[in-house]
Amino acid sequence: MIEVLNLGAGVQSSTVLLMSIKGELPKLDYAIFADTGWEPAAVYRQMDWLEEQAVEAGIKVHRVTLGDITNDGFESIKDDALTAQKAGGMMGLDAELKAKAKAQGANDHPGRWASMPYFTLGPNGEKGQIRRQCTYEYKIRPIERCLRRVMLGLKPRQRAPRDPVMRQWFGISWDEVRRVRPDDTPWVRRYYPLCENHVTRTMCFDWLDKNGFDEPPRSACIGCPYHHNREWREMKADRPEEWEEAVAFDHAIRKCGGMRGDVFLHSQRVPLDEANLWTDQDERQMALFGLPGIVDECSGMCGV
């Protein structure tokens, strides 16, 4: 079995890689980092350091990418309609939709819609959210391509083996066990070492500290609309250059091709630099794994 880790360079996947290096988990053969092109500088620094540790331990590291998510986002602004990949580039941005038919449909099922953190109803029309595809387009697809073409040496459209030949590791901790998914490919077996050993995210921090490792950063795009208000505040205070990047991107995407209404990074649907970042509970800004239903939006590829 080929042992390969989906490496996001965040807390959990960094812990899994280092546990393997120290012999507390089975030996990995490969680690794959899917680069969206817009990770925080701290994530790239962490990834550089992890790659050094992995290579020294005999683990091959692959960095893969489908392109720059910001460039694709800007391209989608100029188009009349969003293609699949360019829609993914928009990262599930919040949009105010004016369709009265949709608003009426929401009113027909108030309980169902009220339970979903993606939508709120207001007096000036329905507020919605662009379908989020960035995880699939910029994380899952390039990793799957690497597994097939690099690990197995398969050509495009060539049939994969019918029997399992690879174990794909995920850095999902025990407190996020709801994100665990069953196998969906005959030749790949999914492996969740932290869940198997009942290791929580807090325990990952403890293990890293005990072994003398620095705390890894959270792996998420600079302008990810799933940032919690606390994360926006920290970025504004501690990483002003990245904050300015996010603000500039937010202003640039306001009029997006094919969309009815304006597009915003923040769920308050106001310019990011005008958003109230001190209303975590009231505004329900969607932290990536902090609210019910978010598990269906992400396959655990970004924030680990």
Is residue 147 located within the same domain as residue 291? no
Encode 171-224 in three state secondary structure.
CCCHHHHHHCCCCCCCCEEEECHHHHCCCCHHHHHHHHHHCCCCCCCCCCCCCC
Distance CA 268, CA 284 (A): 9
Amino acid 112: pLDDT: 27
Amino acid 205: pLDDT: 97
Q: Which of 177-186, 211-220, 271-280 has the lowest mean pLDDT?
A: 271-280
**Percent over 70 (pLDDT), the chain:** 71
Residue 238 lies in a domain: yes
Is residue 192 located within the same domain as residue 60? yes
Amino acid 12: pLDDT: 96
Is residue 203 located within the same domain as residue 73? no
Amino acid 16: pLDDT: 98
Q: Where residue 125 falls among pLDDT bands split at 50, 70, 90?
A: low
Is residue 56 located within the same domain as residue 153? yes
Kindly report whether the global pTM for this prediction surpasses the value 0.75: yes
Amino acid 120: pLDDT: 26
Higher pLDDT, 158 or 116: 158
Is residue 111 located within the same domain as residue 98? yes
Higher pLDDT, 259 or 180: 180
Is residue 111 located within the same domain as residue 150? no
- Asked if the model's pLDDT at residue 107 lies above 60, the reply is no
Amino acid 115: pLDDT: 23
Is residue 48 located within the same domain as residue 77? no
Higher pLDDT, 78 or 73: 73
Is residue 110 located within the same domain as residue 140? no
- Asked if the model's pLDDT at residue 122 lies above 60, the reply is no
Distance CA 89, CA 76 (A): 8
Is residue 152 located within the same domain as residue 275? no
Q: Which of 12-21, 52-61, 191-200, 247-256 has the lowest mean pLDDT?
A: 247-256
- Asked if the model's pLDDT at residue 230 lies above 60, the reply is yes
Q: What is the mean pLDDT of residues 138-152?
A: 92
Domain count of the fold of the chain:
2
Residue 37 lies in a domain: yes
Residue 99 lies in a domain: yes
pLDDT digits (tens, 9 = 90+) for 247-304: 998 888 777 655 667 778 888 888 999 999 987 544 444 444 444 333 334 444 564 5
